[in-house]
Amino acid sequence: YHGWQVQKNAVTVAETLERALSTVVCHPVKCTGAGRTDAGVHAEVYVANFRTDSTIPCDRLPYALNTHLPPDVVVSQAREVHEGFNAIGSCVRKSYTYLIYNDRIRNPFYVDRVWFYSRHLDEAVMQAAADQFVGTHDFAAFCAAGSSVSTTVRTIFDCHVEQEGPHICILVTGDGFLYNMVRILAGTLIAVGQGKIPAEKVAEIIAGKDRRQAGQTAEPQGLTLREIYYDLP
């Protein structure tokens, strides 16, 4: 899939879901998603809202939809929400993981699910750098070109680096993320873990707001949206 949002010449998740929804509820459907996604990334949880006058009970909707969806897209839950709800505007925080397979030999069982990185990474040094992302900062240095947001200030609540065997997992939770922000953050931590960027320099990079000073944009396949949080009754 070429991300979430509908595109003219590429298959996307939104297009696939809207087609299934339209078939089930018997009228055209337009979904509002919880955010844009890049081609190649994954989501264990994703939220979208739409309007319908269908009488199908919410608890039956996932079963009906999944018969019209391909095996790699699944609707797990449906619920009625208030009129003002918006999947992206009502979101209060999101959690992502970026998974690296750090070994000299790649593992075929993780194809398209991790970034295979053969050079040694120092998890402890990466964590020292990750700590500097926590807080409210202007993350302009971690935003890809072409973004049209009104502000690049975001709050990171938590940023952890965990290692288990060859797996290094970066877990980050924030009130919102800029275009490619988590992938650039991951690429910067990888550069730190390899010794290319000193851990203590991350605070300088944030303050400098210069994209050229941060690390590369990490490959998309290692990124997974894990959780989306809403203040719902």
Active site residues per annotation: 38
Q: Pairing relation of β-strands 223-230 and 91-101?
A: antiparallel
Tell me which amino acid residue 59 is.
D
71 — phi, psi (to 5°)?
Answer: -65, -15
Closest CA to 129 of 172, 189, 69, 63: 189
Q: How far is CA 5 from the centre of its chain?
A: 14
Q: Choose among 87, 2, 63: nearest CA to 38.
A: 2
Give start and end residues of each alpha helix (H) in 97-160.
Answer: 123-130
**How many whole angstroms separate alpha carbon 184 and alpha carbon 167?**
19
Q: Indicate the residue type of 55.
A: T
Provide the pairing of β-strand 48-49 with 32-33. Answer: antiparallel
Cβ 228 vs Cβ 44: under 8 Å? no
Could you tell me which residues are beta bridge partners of residue 100? 115, 168
Q: How far apart are CA 87 and CA 33, in angstroms?
A: 6
